[in-house]
Amino acid sequence: MCEITFVNHSSVIISSGDIRLLCDPWIEGTAFNNGWNLIAPSRFGPEDYRHITHIWFSHEHPDHFHPPSLKQVPQDVRPHIEVLYQATRDRKVIDYCAKQGFRTRELKPYARTELGADFHVTCGPVPFYDSWLLIETAGKRLLNLNDCEINNRPQAAKVRRQIGAGPIEVLLTQFSYARHIGEPEHRESRVQAARAILDRVIAQTLEIRPQYVIPFASFIYFCHPENLWLNDSVNPPALAAERITRETSAIPIVMYPLTFGRLARLTTMPPL
C-alpha cells in the first residue's frame, strides 16, 4: 500500500512498507528574507519526525530546503533519518545535513536507488539547480516535479524518456508563480505569468500522462510590506484543477494544508 500525506506547500510524505519519505519540509516560519509565508499552519510538528525514515530536498531554495525546519528535528531522532540530495560539486546541502547529525546519501543523476524493500527513487537534475524525484513502490510510480522548470511539451517529453517506460499514477507539480514579477502597476505581467504556470501544468500532464495530478508547491503568500502586491494574480488551486479536468484526461487532487492527515491512499482511489 502506498500513501501520500500532505504537510504544507511543497512538502508531502510518501509512505509504503517501512519507509516514510518526507519531501521538502518547510514546516513553519518565513522564507526568502521574511518575504514568503505559508498560507496555513502545519499540523506536522517536531515529534512527527520520529516517524520519518528519509528526507529528500529538491533544491536549495529556502521554501524547499528550510534549515529552521530541519533544526526542529529532535537531536535523538536525527541519526535515524537519512537525508537524500542530488549529487553536487559543492556538497553544501549534504554536508550541512551531516553536520546537523543526519545520515546522508547523494543521489547520482538518473540512478535508481533502493531505500527499502519495494521502495526505489530516481533523482533527475534540472538546470540550473533543481531536481525531480521518481518514487516507485507498491507497484505505483509517482513523479514529484515540485517547481522544476519543465515549461513545455518537449521538455516534459524529455523527462518522460528519462523516467522510462511504464505508467505514472501521480504527478505532483507547482500551480502558481513564485517569484518577483514586475512592479505594482504591472499586474498584466503577473496575470500572464500565472497563466503560463497553468499552461506548464497542462504540458507536463499531456506528455507524462499521469492518472492523477496533485497541484502543490504554491501554498504561500507574499507577506512582506514591500511585496504584498505580488498576491494580486496568483492562481488558486481550484483553477488548476479546473484546467486539468477540462484539458487532460488526468484526475486532479487538491490538497488542503488545514486538513493534515491521510490525503490519498492509492489503493483506495478509483481503480488504477
Instruction: Enumerate domains of the chain plus CATH numbers.
Output: 2-268 (3.60.15.10)
* pLDDT computed for residue 80 by the predictor: 98
Its pTM stands at 0.93
* pLDDT computed for residue 257 by the predictor: 63
User: For residue 266, is pLDDT > 80?
Assistant: no
Name the DSSP class of 139. T
Cα-to-chain-centroid distance, residue 250: 18
d(CA 103, CA 113) in angstroms, rounded, equals 16
Inter-CA distances, 157 with 132, 142, 153, 162, Å: 14, 16, 6, 9
Inter-CA distances, 47 with 7, 23, 74, 137, 197, Å: 14, 17, 7, 26, 35
* pLDDT computed for residue 255 by the predictor: 83
Task: Tell which residue, 53, 79, 51, 83, has the closest CA to residue 67.
Answer: 83
Q: Which residues of 54-68 are buried (b: 16+ CB within 10 A; e: fewer)?
A: bbbbbbebbbbbbee
Mean pLDDT of the 163-182 span: 95
- Each residue's pLDDT tens digit, 52-81: 999 999 999 999 999 999 999 999 999 999
- Each residue's pLDDT tens digit, 115-162: 999 999 999 999 889 999 999 999 999 999 999 999 999 999 999 999
| Rg of the chain in Å (alpha carbons) | 18
What do you get for the CA distance between the two ends of the chain, in Å?
13
d(CA 149, CA 168) in angstroms, rounded, equals 19
Quickly state the pLDDT bin for 1 (edges 50, 70, 90).
confident
Cell numbers found for residue 207: 506528455
